Amino acid sequence: MKAAYYEEFAGPVEIRDLPCPDPAPDGALIRVGATGICRSDWHGWQGHDPDIRLPHVPGHELAGVVEAVGKNVRSWRAGDRVTVPFVCGCGGCPQCQTGNQQICDHQEQPGFTHWGSFAEFVAIRYADQYLVRLPDEVDEVAAASLGCRFVTSFRAVLAQGRLQPGEWLAVHGCGGVGLAAIMIGAAVGARVVAVDIRPEALALAQAIGAELVIDASNDDPVEAIRTATRGGAHVSIDALGHPTTCFRSVSCLRKRGRHVQVGLLLGEHSRPALPMDRVIAHELEILGSHGMQAHEYPRMLAMMAAGALAPEHLVTQRVDLAGGIDILTRMGDFPTTGIAVIDRF
């Protein structure tokens, strides 16, 4: 199979012809129709993820067709159209048993714990527990755009952030995660503030539902949000993953507000300073959000079918595998607005 492949962190990424994997007894082999290009893949290539063992094939935001299943799989067969959460839960640990497969004790993640979806085929374990059937109305590019970014934002905004209609949502960073959060917040009737330093990202944020956009290179976003919302955001999300945006996200909240950390803070950024005096005095909540469970997909897919959510509108580039490698290796410089998807191998 054709795949993107690297042998050293931050080293060359090449297209190679590699052996096609076999499905595990509890797994499935998926022919990849489309796969998103995510900053998490860039972090992995940089060596920031301890699960990755070299050599490696990246990619975790995928949609495609089941090619084959293992002997113990009962719910799926060849030809089924599927996507998969980036965290594959085992179904048997205490976390999975309480419905929290996104933090499974034995989780597998394509593109991290094993070779991923920047390839013509990808093997997925725990197929019965964690594959998601695609409705006929959702094509593979739209499904790949759900990836980890849109579904992570969906759970971060609605389950962790508990955002309600009429509340203010502040989104710090208008990449794929942030734009998804903006679209989701607007869809449920919240008032959304978008913060970024790129005019093109802010323009797209406004086009998909942001009521107010703030250029953080010109204005103090914390004061601007507190003023515009008359006291601060009810929910704020750091969608970028940087000590500065994390600090600002907590600082812009009103009393008893909820901060949700979605953007990865890795390496030297993994221990950011926080305004804990404000957290205590204003009884703020600090929450993490790590993906979304397969059993929560139906609500999101129903909103897509009803036209309330259109994640495909966030796809700004559709490229082949070589183009995907180019975007991946330049992602540290934020070369794209919106979501880029590989749809050709």
Q: What's the CATH code of the domain at 339?
A: 3.90.180.10
Segment 127-153 mean pLDDT: 91
Residues 121, 172, single domain; the answer is no
The yes-or-no verdict on residue 55 having pLDDT over 80 is yes
- Check if the beta carbon of residue 128 is closer than 8 Å to that of residue 75: yes
**Across 9-18, 157-166, 229-238, 334-343, least confident range:** 334-343
The yes-or-no verdict on residue 334 having pLDDT over 70 is no
Residues 55, 115, single domain; the answer is yes
Residue 41 resides in a domain? yes
Residues 195, 79, single domain; the answer is no
- Check if the beta carbon of residue 110 is closer than 8 Å to that of residue 130: no
Residues 78, 165, single domain; the answer is no
Residues 252, 176, single domain; the answer is yes
Confidence at residue 165, expressed as pLDDT on a 0 to 100 scale: 98
Residues 15, 123, single domain; the answer is yes
Q: Helices in 149-284 by DSSP H: which ranges?
A: 151-155, 176-187, 199-207, 221-228, 243-251, 276-281
Which neighbouring-strand residues pair with 121?
Answer: 31
Residue 244 resides in a domain? yes
Summarize pLDDT for 280-292 with one digit per residue, the tens. 999 999 999 998 9
Residues 38, 113, single domain; the answer is yes
Residues 226, 274, single domain; the answer is yes
Structural domains in the chain (count): 2
Cα 189 from Cα 192, distance rounded (Å): 9
The yes-or-no verdict on residue 266 having pLDDT over 80 is no
The residue range of the domain holding 70 is: 2-134+310-344
Task: Record the pTM.
Answer: 0.89
Percent of the chain surpassing pLDDT 70: 99
- Check if the beta carbon of residue 140 is closer than 8 Å to that of residue 33: yes
- Check if the beta carbon of residue 121 is closer than 8 Å to that of residue 31: yes
Residue 222 resides in a domain? yes
Residue 96 resides in a domain? yes
Cα 116 from Cα 104, distance rounded (Å): 19
DSSP state of 219: S
Residues 157, 119, single domain; the answer is no
Residue 215 resides in a domain? yes
The yes-or-no verdict on residue 252 having pLDDT over 90 is yes
Residues 197, 70, single domain; the answer is no
The CATH number given to whatever domain includes residue 249 is: 3.40.50.720
- Tokens representing residue 205 in the block: 């944020």
The yes-or-no verdict on residue 129 having pLDDT over 90 is no
Residue 145 resides in a domain? no
Residues 102, 208, single domain; the answer is no
Segment 133-161 mean pLDDT: 93
Residue 207 CB: number of other CB atoms within 10 A?
11
**Alpha-carbon radius of gyration of the chain:** 19
Summarize pLDDT for 116-127 with one digit per residue, the tens. 999 999 999 999
Residue 206 resides in a domain? yes
Residue 225 resides in a domain? yes
Residues 156, 283, single domain; the answer is yes
